[in-house]
Structure 1
Amino acid sequence: MSLMDDVRRRAAQDPQRVAFYEGENPKILEVAAELTKGGLARCAIVGDAEAIRAKAREEGVDLAGVELVDVTDEEGNESFSKRFEVIPACPYKSKGVRRHAARAMDRAFMMQRIGDVDVSFGGIDCSTGDVILAGEKIIGLADGVTTVSSAGIFDVPGWEGSEGNLLGFADSAVCVNPDSQKLAQIAVTSARTVAALTGWEPRVAMLSYSTDGSSEGELVQKVRDAVAAAHELAPELKIDGEFQLDAAIRPDVAAKKVHRPSEVAGHANVIVWPDINVGNIGVKLVQNFGHANAYGPFLQGFKKIVCDCSRSSPVPELVGNVVMSCVRAQALKED
């Protein structure tokens, strides 16, 4: 069974509630309709309900079973605002609650904050920066996390690693040049994200141009310090480095280059790039030369599952990202 087949099976066993806040976008309409028809999620589209219905008719999309949350309904907004303003540590004053409840993206996050939905999904029309800022303000960061990051999973045809064709990676989309403390958080958070999606025991390799002391310098030291910091944050996780990529994923190379016991070297199932330059280039190299699918990137570090999709993603890829987000939400409830 492929990763996506397994994730779809798990999502259908316990459909999560998903709020979409770009309901006048044709792709979002199709995604919500497909998820609902397939029993993969319980979908709500937040926005101007009349405009959403008109767009659905124009695009020929059947929204049967999809809830519409109308932010132009003043009575409904007021009822929701009264529920939201009494939550512990409410991020807004009374007038602010009502103002944000009438904005589609903010309303979706607010619904998530009080438990009306499990996942918020968007990013086609809204910028990544806006999504992250709203998520930080309304949802908040997970305990012990001070930075939002992203993770993904490669599916590389013909490659046989420790998990077959699959390999987790982070961060290629959010943190530009993380210091050692942020890099440690990325490693720990990514380990948990990938474990939630796959059920693996994560083995995280912190990548560098050096393997286990083969080179020295500021860039290498940053990765070494990140490994040490990650061990302090989560001593139960298998996180090691600094490793070059081949030493991280190939047992034969690790045997020659890593002269100490390591549960990660040669057997990594998650790799952590040292900065976004390496991450962005690395992902595109694997996609173009390895003909790989790259699932994600998935935002991580929030108290709940906040998604930011690529505006160029086709509908099947968006559906897959929502389904994976739902499985992450299932795992979050089990913690």
Structure 2
Amino acid sequence: MSTFLDEMVSRAKSHKQTIVLAEGNDERTLKAAEQLLNQNVADLIILGNADEIANSKYNLTGANLIDPQTSQLREELANELFELRKHKGMTIEEAQTLICDVLYFGVMLVKTNRANGMVAGACHSTGDVLRPSLQILKTAPGTKLVSSFFVMVVPDCNYGNNGTFVFADCGLEVQPDSERLAHIAVNSAKSFRTLIGAKPYVAMLSHSTYGSAKNDDATKVVEATRIAKELAPDEAIDGELQLDAALCPDVASAKCPASQVAGKANVLVFPDLDAGNIGYKLVQRLAKAEAYGPITQGIAAPVNDLSRGCSAEDIFGVAAITCVQAQNIN
């Protein structure tokens, strides 16, 4: 386990949260649940066929096993879902059907304060996981969009925060315009401070540094930087910066010596999803970095989406991070 994940587990244990694992039919989820319970990381609600989960090979003593199809909570949660969504045209019959879905049931547990967060996505698409989250929980106060980030822990790395970075957005926003990119930057700074506990230095990445290239793509990042600084004047945010200027002090001193971010960036904001997704996977594979995510930011309560290729260890890590996010909301 990495130092970062050790820290997440330690913080999760210090103020235990209740986390919904919505995919109790998935063996990786149950393996992660056993580990979370053994290490006393979180209180767990596991959704699915309760009899099958209880009879699995995993020791899940202490978990609350709930089958949305038969739960005594089903009617109450359906009625609450109907009240939340009737202004959008939802009927009570539709609410009663949706509440049988583990994702809607799980999000309603969070909405009604029966749980503090949810982890899903091992066998559901990102759209399926986020749809009920946005419909029911909505965005956090003062937040205009939901985005995602990875925590990257790079071994033997002198850059960033002792080799630890936040990369955003690598999972959700495909082609953010300047305003959306600015919000991603501000939210990523908050996420870095929440999880890493250090001062964020946010680099708005581009193929251009301080006007070295003149084109629409570079201009988008320049404008995003301006908006981000207006949104969060106390944060260290700068751009547009090429990656080497963002990370390397010698390059920064040559290209942009007056920048408060260049040469010490630990939050890297990519201009689009292509760049972000390629960037984090390059670092993960070539530098053998640990990649934790995608972690969502901007939802009123933490709901995190897993990759469908995730391992039990990935689920364990994301659940611990979700606990820390929830601690900073509650």
TM-score (norm 1): 0.92
Corresponding position: 1:319 with 2:312: no
CA distance 1:316–1:90, shift in 2 (3 Å):
farther
Secondary structure, aligned partner of 2:329: helix
* Aligned counterparts of 1:64 and 1:215: Cα–Cα separation in 2: 60
Tell me what 1:279 maps to.
Answer: 276
Question: Which of 97, 119, 122 lines up with 1:121 in the alignment?
Answer: 119
Q: TM-score scaled to structure 2, two decimals?
A: 0.94
CA shift at 1:82, angstroms? 4.7
Residue number among 126, 146, 149 corresponding to 1:148 in the alignment: 146
Structure 1 residues without counterparts, runs of 5 or longer: none
Find 1:308's aligned residue among 305, 308, 322: 305
Residue identity in the other structure for 2:113? G
> Contact 1:47–1:103 at 8 Å: present in 2 too?
no
Give the aligned CA root-mean-square deviation in angstroms.
1.9
- The amino acid that maps onto 2:32 is V
CA 1:305/1:90 → structure 2, altered by over 3 Å: closer, same or farther? farther
Equivalent residue letter for 1:110: M
Gaps of 5+ in 2: none
The answer to whether the 8 A contact 2:77-2:108 is kept is: no
1:239 aligned partner, one-letter code? I
Other-structure match for 1:229: 227
Distance 1:243 1:129 in 2: 32
CA contact (8 A) 1:209 1:244 kept: yes
CA contact (8 A) 1:16 1:118 kept: yes
User: Any idea what SS the aligned residue of 1:196 has?
Assistant: helix
Aligned to 2:14: 13
> What CA distance in whole angstroms lies between the structure 1 residues aligned with 2:74 and 2:286?
50
C-alpha displacement of 1:87:
6.5
Quick check: 2:295–2:305 contact (8 Å CA) kept in 1?
yes
The Cα shift of 1:48 comes to: 2.7
CA distance in 2, matches of 1:246, 1:36: 43
Instruction: Give yes or no for contact 1:171–1:273 (8 Å, CA) kept in 2.
Output: yes
Aligned partners of 1:38, 1:74: CA distance in 2, in Å? 28
Residue 137 of structure 2 corresponds to which residue in structure 1? 139
Q: Name which of 173, 181, 191 aligns with 1:193.
A: 191
Between Structure 1 and Structure 2, how many residues are aligned? 328
Shift of 1:158: 1.4
Q: Give the Cα–Cα distance (whole angstroms) in 2 for the partners of residues 90 and 68 of structure 1.
A: 32
Distance in 1 between residues matched to 2:279 and 2:193, nearest whole Å: 22
In structure 2, C-alpha distance between the alignment counterparts of 1:11 and 1:193, rounded to whole Å? 16
Give the 4+ runs in structure 1 shifted more than 4 A.
82-93
Counterparts of 2:87 and 2:37, CA distance in 1? 32
Structure 1 residues 278 and 83, CA gap change in structure 2 (3 angstroms): closer
Give 3-state SS (helix, strand or coil) of 2:166's partner.
Answer: strand
Q: Per the alignment, in what secondary structure is the counterpart of residue 242 of structure 1?
A: strand
Are positions 1:171 and 2:202 aligned together? no
Deviations 1:58-78 (A, max 9, x none): xx1112111012212264312
Aligned AA (1:295): Y
- Paired position in structure 1 for 2:73: 76
Matched, 1:66 2:67: no
The match for 2:27 is 26
State how far apart, in whole Å, the 2-side matches of 1:81 and 1:289 are: 48
Cα distance in 1 between the residues matched to 2:299 and 2:87 = 16
Distance in 2 separating the partners of 1:214 and 1:283: 25
- Is 2:125–2:308's contact at 8 Å kept on the other side of the alignment? no
Structure-to-structure mapping, 1:176-255, within 5 angstroms: 176-255=174-253
Counterparts of 1:38-53 in structure 2, within 5 Å, are 38-53=39-54
Alpha-carbon separation, structure 2, partners of 1:249 and 1:36: 39
